[in-house]
Chains A and B, each alone.
Chain A
């Protein structure tokens, strides 16, 4: 029976913007390795496929005083690849999925570092492949503005080609390490890459063995045509951000529909939408948890997040004031200045605010849970019902669980929702394999030289 895959996304203290203000949360989570270790051990206790760490190479628009970044935790972090290298040493089964950009990193360094982490974790590391489109990031790397989307995606594609080429440098059976004969590796088992492309020129070979997983599993995200095409071409998983099942189904079939173009089958790519849940043994307990989180959030944080997502500055309004008729801010729309989600979502939320005559507080509640991406407040049964529907009707192959705060919000999912999913046979009760690939049900790719070697031996 097909079972869903589950990742646990760690975003410092959690996905709610004011997670760090929750009474049970360690305020130092963002830079505490113990916090990351605990979250990974929690995911492992729940038999989850992997822990996930987002990343970007800058602080975010701290110079825009309308956005209350000084009340958010997200400005400081630990480098995700290195946090995962440390986590690998104190976990056994859970996959490790750090984010790294193809825009300002170099594929040789990165291939080498990730192969090392795959080696030392026994084949448990994957990669969230992103491109860097932020203005703040560009300015940390000597540029005045971000690189355009076409160039970024072209570079990302070549980056992955180089990495996979480097990972194939040594055949799987290259190292014989025979003390008796003194032979360390088999002649002919090492391959120079000699890559010369538009963005990189890399001779190779990589100075280390093929990673245990061959190629590390790649997860990626994005709704643009460029992003979806790249996902269909090179990714093993796709991290979705659709807030409702219709949008998720459309995204699911849009990405999967591109697979044949690259000679791939639908099951070669797992669609993994994000899901933020507030779990209670009763509905009212779940709602209380959400209310506690919302009450911990300063008004300035909510206002700032709306501005990031193309709303006007609503700071003049009280929490229980009705909202004005809003129009989309245009000056930064679609620009790299603020980031933010798709403008269509903003337009839909503005329409809803007008139709339902929402107050600012109600707008915050909708925006903070379930509007920009999937959010649900409920009992394990309610949440499992919804996940099952998404999983069985072409909206998801699994989920990236985004706990609102950690560890409490993650423990609720592991201790209450996962047992319900397991009872329904929708999720594993034990890890199937040793590597992340094995647990994800993805085959281990053969080296590009494997056939040549077989032929040469004949």
Chain B
């Protein structure tokens, strides 16, 4: 299946939770794999993701956060918690360097110079993933008869001492249902592509045309190889938007008929330029339902989508390999 997500990208602040919940439920009913919750004014995307998890059942939830504003221990716990709350439907988007206006709210924190933003964000992402492995999947015996809750041999001190962070661990939450909830990076800059090759499993790319998408793929494959990662370790999803959508600039605008859009998506996917797409829309549930009604039948006709995808972890829906613990035999 070709992964297909939605990004709520209207430029307006998101202030009405009921509307976002209705949008998430509309996207879920339409069969989309996941919903991106970008950083923008209004409701905090991390809190939003936890709340939406309780109001939905199948759709993946991918909030954004800015690396310099978070301590890795707190972040690992919060994000891992959303994977528990959503029962394996969680992913996250990491911004290595936040936009300037945001920085002034955190003026006492040392902000990374641009040349260290990527190594620092990669270190943060690495610690988060390592903390998620603190407890083996079978660490919790929870055996009432013997009174043993966990096996002391099955948790791990991290004792991380890196260039930017020191964290002892272990994390105080169980390994997330997905093991490692996938991390996304929003592409378009060298910084973002460097971070994606180092640490991400999803790149939300913003190509202008097919040749651009192919060049991005080729560049990323070189970057992945340099990091010792396989070419399929990174799922590349291109952002597109219907011409009529009132969304922030970035995604490729498409104005053809649903059949033509489906053909374009199929072509991009089949030539290997991308693995799937993220459709940028406003927060209107009606707009989501409309796109779904127009586009989904055309995609099904081309064999790109199933009628309704199975209820499964986000990693599976994205075609990512299972993520065994680093401590697994």
Contacts and interface: CB of A to CB of B under 8 A. Distances in A.
Contacts of B15: 119, 175, 208-209
B46 A113 contact: yes
Interface in B62-83: 69-71, 73-74, 77-78, 81-82
B13 A208 contact: yes
A77 B172 contact: yes
A298 B78 contact: no
B77 A207 contact: no
B105 A79 contact: no
B106 interface: yes
B174 A104 contact: no
B139 to A, nearest CB: 9
Interface string A182-214: 000000000000000001111110011100000
A70 B50 contact: no
Counting contact residues on chain B (CB < 8 A from A), the size range is 35 or more
Nearest to A25: B144
Given A62-B155, A76-B173, A141-B73, A20 B108 contact: no
B73 A140 contact: yes
Interface string A19-61: 0110100011011110001000000000000000000111100
A306 to B, nearest CB: 17
A366 interface: no
B85 A86 contact: yes
B147 A78 contact: no
A87 B54 contact: yes
A25 to B, nearest CB: 8
Contacts of A106: 69, 106, 109
A76 B44 contact: no
A175 B42 CA distance: 13
B84 A78 contact: yes
A139 B47 contact: no
Interface residues of A, number: 65
Contacts of A113: 44, 46-47
Interface string A293-326: 0001110010000000000000000000000000
B107 A78 contact: no
* Most chain A Cβ neighbours within 10 Å, of B71, B105, B150: B105
B106 A141 contact: no
Q: State the 3 A-B residue pairs at the shortest beta-carbon distance, nearest first.
A: A86-B54, A120-B17, A82-B50
Interface of B: 13, 15, 17, 21, 41-44, 46-48, 50-55, 69-71, 73-74, 77-78, 81-82, 84-85, 104-109, 135, 140, 142, 144, 147-152, 155, 165-174
21 contacts: A20-B144, A20-B149, A28-B142, A33-B85, A76-B135, A78-B173, A79-B77, A79-B78, A82-B82, A104-B73, A106-B106, A109-B70, A112-B44, A113-B46, A113-B47, A200-B108, A201-B107, A202-B107, A202-B108, A208-B41, A298-B147
Given A18-B147, A21-B147, A296-B144, 18 more contacts: A20-B142, A32-B84, A33-B85, A56-B172, A57-B172, A59-B171, A62-B155, A70-B152, A71-B147, A76-B174, A81-B47, A81-B78, A82-B46, A83-B81, A105-B71, A108-B106, A200-B108, A298-B147
